Chains A and B, each alone.
Chain A
Amino acid sequence: MTNLLSLSSAGAGWLLALMIVCILAEVGVIVWLILRQREEARAKTSGNGVMHERNIENVKKTQKVVKFLVKVLIYLFLVAVAVSVLFPFYWMIISSLKSYNEYALEGEFASRVTPTFFPHKVMWSNYAEAFKTANLGTLFLNTVFVGIVSTILSLVITVLAAFAFARLEFRGKNALFAALLATMMIPGELFTITNYGTVTNILNWGNTYTALIVPFLVSVFYIYLLRQNFMQIPNELYYAAKVDGTSDLKYLWKVMVPLALPTIISITILKMMGSWNSYIWPRLVANDELHQLITNGLRDTDFAVYLADGSRDADKINYPVQMAAVTLVSIPLFLVFIFLRKYIMKGVSRSGLKG
């Protein structure tokens, strides 16, 4: 194992930093504990049952040190967590830029014992290869198409339903709403089985976009969310519009939708992200080349390594190219996140549904 410890320069820097952080944290904890003990010991010598009789000067000194140490510990911990969170992304990106030999420590890299932390030669060509191998172009287009169409249709349905539940009076309203909410408790897997049959055998939608879009247009949760938002809009606005002779739909479009826009944006983003990340259903009903969605395509693609003579090496997976594909799939999500962070976090904090 000794040669594992003799690290390469780039890697050594990283790991050393990690070690120092950990040791610092440890020392911090120990010092803190000692200080606490000292403090208690002092209290023992001077206490009389009430906390008045302390040596104030000493308390003041330790109090400052303890406060500082706690701050340091908190930051160390938070930064360590941040590093752990970011590390997979970092590894994904640098792996995607390595040559296969560098990644696998073969060929000219065979003498190394640890992976490099930055590619010796940046292989942008991996991205081109990933794009080609995984057929990402088609997958992107398919996914974006399905995402956009289902989001638009879903929004229309959700807005209309939320409006009906929030503003209109009709018999059985509360019962219907309660029944819809109750369906939220049932895990989706229960529906998948029958829906699979319905879509492929009865409706004959196998391998169509329709099969990918229609079954998931209704989201009770989004209806619920939007209805709550609509109900906060004062009734008087509605009556005022009625007096002015505004039609329901016009009122909905001109008043309610703009006022509930933040919620609608949240719903839109979450729905789009859902399409981007969906896996099981598309895998079942539309997994042919023409309709395949991005996640399925990514998982199914065989990222092969090719030998010098052009034949494929059966035992090996071309991880750099695979990572390039993964990076390409992740980038749109990150872009959306960077620009629309507020809406996503707001929407998620009220939902808790992933994918």
Chain B
Amino acid sequence: MVDSKKQWKAWLYLSPVIILTLVFTVWPIINTVRIAFLNDYTLMGDAGGMTFSVGVKNFQKVIQYPDFLICLKNTILLTVITVPISTFLALLIAVCLNSIKVLNKLLQTIYFLPYVTNTIAIGMVFATMFSMVGSGFGGADPYISTAGIINNILGVFGIEPVNWVNAGSTYWANMFVMIVYIVWNALPFKILILLGGLQSVNKQYYEAAKVDGTSRVRTFFRITVPMLSPMLAYVIITGFIGGFKEYSSVVGVFGEGMGPAGTEGTLNTMVGFINTNLMGKKPREGIASAGALILFVIIFAVTMLNMYVSKKRVHY
């Protein structure tokens, strides 16, 4: 029996959530879909009483933009490169961390540090580490007197200095910096989850494997990885979702120009595309909405694919 007084109370408690969700979540979903399918929609125009015909012109425009293709390419590249690297590294670190006792807590704390940072702020630190400094820059041989700390370290190993992030740097140099930064940033969460998973694996499986003379490598691939497969799937799926929403890390390193000086926009991402269209001098909400819907479809599809694959692969 549900008494009506309780009902009334429940709805009262839920009213803030319901109202806010309706206004800031449900309505935006409907509205975004609506304006994505209104040709040439702009908020200014809408407010000015313009009417728009229904159609897919926004989508056509988005796909025809060279900018959009760059964003799509960057986003996909960053995601498919950083997710495997960070997952594998995190797995390796977690397994090593799980096998030691001394310094365990301290290292665990250190590894988690990048999580509690401001993505933009530390992006700026990465930019300084990779950037070239000093008066020699711009000269005949700009690297002789100045190269920036990362180049100095690489120099010790005999690697020629690279222009990583400054004006005139190459696309792949920029991408390399972004990959390093994104992996650095993504590790803490993955290590935390995988370490938690490892600690919940019954130790007897490892004892059994040890008695059977299983090598470390084989134990890792035949026991640890299958046992961790649910956590790995989780980490990879969230990694993909995060990767497709990459934006502020690029802003951190390169600023809102989304690329080194002189070649702005070369590192723009999908979310960057949406935001650029929203924040520009002439905001184009129609285009942004179409872009957002495309992003949603991609994320949804990739997530579904991931879940499908992991269902086949994840044991349990």
A contacting B, Cβ–Cβ less than 8 Å: yes
Give Cα distance in the complex from A283 to B156, angstroms: 41
Given the known inter-chain contacts A85-B113, A319-B133, A337-B116, please indicate yes or no for A187 contacting B121, CB distance below 8 A: no
Which residues of the partner chain A approach B122 to less than 8 Å between Cβ atoms?
Answer: 88, 92, 326, 330
Partner of B6, one of A78, A105, A170, A336: A170
Pairs A–B under 8 Å by Cβ, sample size 22: A4-B144, A4-B147, A51-B213, A78-B93, A81-B93, A85-B113, A86-B110, A91-B125, A105-B134, A106-B134, A113-B144, A168-B9, A180-B21, A186-B29, A192-B292, A193-B28, A194-B31, A215-B24, A299-B252, A322-B128, A330-B118, A348-B189
Most buried by A among B25, B26, B89, B147: B25
Which residues of the partner chain B approach A82 to less than 8 Å between Cβ atoms?
Answer: 107, 110-111
Q: Is A185 close to B, CB under 8 A?
A: yes
* Interface residues in A72-121 (C-beta closer than 8 Å to B): 74-75, 77-78, 81-82, 84-89, 91-92, 95, 103-106, 110, 112-115
Give Cα distance in the complex from A179 to B312, angstroms: 27
CB-based contact A194/B27 at 8 Å: yes
Partner of A326, one of B29, B124, B187, B271: B124
Taking CB as reference atom, which chain A residue is nearest B24? A215
Q: Is B309 close to A, CB under 8 A?
A: no
Q: Is B289 close to A, CB under 8 A?
A: yes
CB-based contact B135/A333 at 8 Å: no
Give Cα distance in the complex from A187 to B296, angstroms: 6
Determine how close the nearest CB of chain A comes to the CB of B195; give it in whole angstroms. Answer: 9
Which residues of the partner chain A approach B192 to less than 8 Å between Cβ atoms?
Answer: 345, 348-349
The stretch of B62-70, B95-103, B221-229 in contact with A is: B95-103
CB-based contact A198/B27 at 8 Å: yes
Determine how close the nearest CB of chain B comes to the CB of A203; give it in whole angstroms. Answer: 9
Given contacts A161-B17, A183-B25, 4 further A-B contacts (CB under 8 A): A1-B155, A105-B133, A214-B24, A323-B125
7 closest cross-chain pairs (CB), A and B: A194-B28, A170-B10, A168-B10, A105-B134, A160-B13, A191-B28, A164-B13
* Interface residues in A32-79 (C-beta closer than 8 Å to B): 51, 70-71, 74-75, 77-78
Determine how close the nearest CB of chain B comes to the CB of A116; give it in whole angstroms. Answer: 10
Interface 0/1 of B260-303, CB less than 8 Å to A? 00000000000100110011000001001100110110011001
* Range of interface residues on B (Cβ < 8 Å): 35 or more
* Interface residues in B124-146 (C-beta closer than 8 Å to A): 124-126, 128-129, 133-136, 143-146
Which residues of the partner chain B approach A113 to less than 8 Å between Cβ atoms?
Answer: 144-147
Q: Is B109 close to A, CB under 8 A?
A: yes
* Interface residues in A183-206 (C-beta closer than 8 Å to B): 183, 185-198, 201
Give Cα distance in the complex from A298 to B96, angstroms: 37
Task: Count residues of A near B (Cβ-Cβ below 8 Å).
Answer: 101
CB-based contact A193/B288 at 8 Å: yes
Chain A interface secondary structure, helix, strand, loop or mixed? helix
CB-based contact B125/A88 at 8 Å: yes
Given the known inter-chain contacts A104-B135, A191-B24, please indicate yes or no for A330 contacting B121, CB distance below 8 A: yes
Partner of B118, one of A4, A164, A295, A337: A295
The stretch of B49-57, B76-84, B169-177, B243-251 in contact with A is: B243-251
CB-based contact A88/B147 at 8 Å: no
Taking CB as reference atom, which chain A residue is nearest B4? A170
Give Cα distance in the complex from A309 to B270, angstroms: 45
Partner of A218, one of B9, B20, B187: B20
Partner of A337, one of B113, B133, B275: B113
Number of A-B contacts (CB under 8 A): 294
Which residues of the partner chain A approach B278 to less than 8 Å between Cβ atoms?
Answer: 192-193, 196, 284
Interface 0/1 of B1-26, CB less than 8 Å to A? 01000110111011011101101111
Give Cα distance in the complex from A171 to B2, angstroms: 8
Give Cα distance in the complex from A349 to B241, angstroms: 17
Determine how close the nearest CB of chain A comes to the CB of B114; give it in whole angstroms. Answer: 6
The stretch of A233-241, A255-263, A272-280 in contact with B is: A272-280
CB-based contact A15/B153 at 8 Å: yes
Q: Is A9 close to B, CB under 8 A?
A: no
Given the known inter-chain contacts A78-B93, A194-B28, please indicate yes or no for A18 contacting B153, CB distance below 8 A: yes
Taking CB as reference atom, which chain B residue is nearest A95? B128
Given the known inter-chain contacts A78-B107, A161-B13, A187-B295, please indicate yes or no for A348 contacting B115, CB distance below 8 A: yes
Which residues of the partner chain A approach B35 to less than 8 Å between Cβ atoms?
Answer: 193-194
CB-based contact A88/B129 at 8 Å: yes
